Chains A and B, each alone.
Chain A
Amino acid sequence: RKEVEQDPGPFNVPEGATVAFNCTYSNSASQSFFWYRQDCRKEPKLLMSVYSSGNEDGRFTAQLNRASQYISLLIRDSKLSDSATYLCVVNDWANAGNMLTFGGGTRLMVKP
């Protein structure tokens, strides 16, 4: 079974902190990687795609290590509005088309 594993948390951090989430995936054939954000009882929203060379979008930095099958998300200067569940998501296009496999999510709570 192809799985995506995440530490469920919660991670409780003060505003302004830097926090990092990790994710491992079992399917070595995975080709596309994403971080989604999900607020309580809401839909997942695409935060960023993750590229092999690593990529940054403002305060968010994503890294991919294909050899270790490991993805990370770093959030700098945390804001109260960053409080949410962060979902690691992978896709094995060659074998499963566009189906996304979701991790269980890591819950982040940013406190004043």
Chain B
Amino acid sequence: EPEVTQTPSHQVTQMGQEVILRCVPISNHLYFYWYRQILGQKVEFLVSFYNNEISEKSEIFDDQFSVERPDGSNFTLKIRSTKLEDSAMYFCASQWDSGYGYTFGSGTRLTVV
């Protein structure tokens, strides 16, 4: 079964440092997403990406966040200057077409110290 692949599985970073979380979506999918889940809390939407541009973003996705699809396969989330409250599990997801369920990657656990 096709998978969404995320790397690294766990990243520890110092507050104020930049991090890049990487994802390889399923190859024929058209829509790409980042969500996050703070431990013990709900899964929260960050951003959606379609046709090489952001289509929706939440209020969490402020100027410290950016996304990129630098080539035909990778989809990255950058946090420019991490804060303690950015510590969470970050899930990448891809979707074949609107209205279908997503496939999520196994996540990157980000710990900001």
Contacts and interface: CB of A to CB of B under 8 A. Distances in A.
Interface string A14-42: 00000000000000000010101010011
B25 interface: no
Interface in B77-93: 89, 91
Report the contact-size class of chain B (Cβ under 8 Å from the partner): 20 to 34
B65 interface: no
A92 to B, nearest CB: 11
Interface residues of A, number: 24
Chief secondary structure at chain A's binding surface: strand
Interface of A: 32, 34, 36, 38, 41-46, 49, 87, 91, 93, 96-105
Interface of B: 31, 33, 35, 41-45, 48, 50, 55-56, 58, 89, 91, 95, 98-99, 101-107, 109
